[in-house]
Amino acid sequence: MREGDLLRPDGCRVHWYDGGPEDAELVLFWHHGTPNIGQPPGPLMAPVTERGWRWISLDRPGYGGSDRREGRCVADVVDDVADVAAALAVPRFAVVGHSGGGPHALACAAVLGPERVRAAVSIAGLAPFGAPGLDWFGGMAPGGRSELEAAALGPAALAAQLESEEWDPESFTPGDHAALEGEWGWFGSVVEAALSLGPDGMIDDDVAYVSDWGCAVEDAGSVPVLVAHGEDDRVVPAAHGRWLADAIPGAEARFLEDSGHISVLLDAGALLDWLETHA
């Protein structure tokens, strides 16, 4: 795995990761969840490597080696993605995001379009805040709901909420906990790394989710889009995925029974198969 830093015109660093053959037929750009760092997900590296693909990712601002940029919106990260890809001589790529990474993957498709993005996959991703006809907080586990409700009140309210509240294990289904006891226990390493420098990245992520994304998610339909969601997801309820699938023209959808927020990733091989066909 290769790593490096890109310096933005404003002087802020963006830390990136790059793995796989430089002449790969397909490049995947991974968008991590909240709170994570951008290190590519270990359980997916074997199937990606077997396909001969390349994997690129970055730490969003405020995480890992990337400098914080307060007040960022979801679409603000698109420039970082485009600049890292250009620096690594990658003209076109597919984007894949899990959880909070879903909105960022869709933003790349919406803003960059088919000239840069070959296809987009949102896994257990949020819909835009205030999406028409969607009960945005409905069905969320109490811990996650209170966190995002505080985010809607602003960074200070969210910081106080995060300081006073402990993680609610009921946010995950039994299947999620089982997945975390297996190979997806990998998440523990990236969550720990994400929080090691404090909550700033998490605060900025959450506030971005409940603010204007800075792009029209419908524009993501200019490239092939797959929306994948677990029917039993308690962190981001499946209604978010249904709204996205309906709102994005031409989007395909897969709703997995008996799958939650983490266990939906157990079907990641099939999602890679979709990319192989559509990207």
Confidence band for 212, pLDDT divided at 50, 70 and 90: very high
The separation between CA 237 and the C-alpha centre of its own chain, rounded to angstroms, equals: 15
* Residue 205, pLDDT score: 98
pLDDT of residue 122 exceeding 90: yes
* Residue 90, pLDDT score: 97
105: phi then psi, degrees, rounded to nearest 5: -65, -45
Three-state DSSP at 131 gives coil
Both tokens of 10, joined, read: 């404003």
Q: Are 73 and 211 in contact (CB under 8 A)?
A: yes
* Residue 12, pLDDT score: 96
* Residue 166, pLDDT score: 82
pLDDT of residue 147 exceeding 90: yes
pTM of structure:
0.97
* Tens-digit pLDDT profile for residues 220-264: 999 999 999 999 999 999 999 999 999 999 999 999 999 999 999
Confidence band for 168, pLDDT divided at 50, 70 and 90: confident
* Residue 167, pLDDT score: 82
* Residue 77, pLDDT score: 97
Q: Which CB contacts under 8 angstroms, 24+ apart, belong to 21-26?
A: 21/52, 21/54, 22/54, 22/89, 24/52, 24/53, 24/54, 25/52, 25/53, 26/51, 26/53, 26/54, 26/93, 26/94, 26/118, 26/275, 26/276, 26/279
* Tens-digit pLDDT profile for residues 60-82: 999 999 999 999 999 999 999 99
pLDDT of residue 127 exceeding 90: yes
pLDDT of residue 169 exceeding 90: no
Torsion angle in degrees (nearest 10) through CA of 176, 128, 243, 82 = -80
* Tens-digit pLDDT profile for residues 186-210: 999 999 999 999 999 999 999 999 9
CA pair distance 127, 247, nearest whole angstrom:
10
Confidence band for 165, pLDDT divided at 50, 70 and 90: confident
Helix ranges (DSSP H) in 196-257: 200-209, 238-247
Comparison of pLDDT for 45 and 265, the residue scoring more: 265
Per-chain mean pLDDT for the chain: 96
Three-state DSSP at 206 gives helix
* Residue 179, pLDDT score: 97
* Tens-digit pLDDT profile for residues 24-35: 999 999 999 999
What average pLDDT does range 255-274 have in this prediction?
Answer: 96
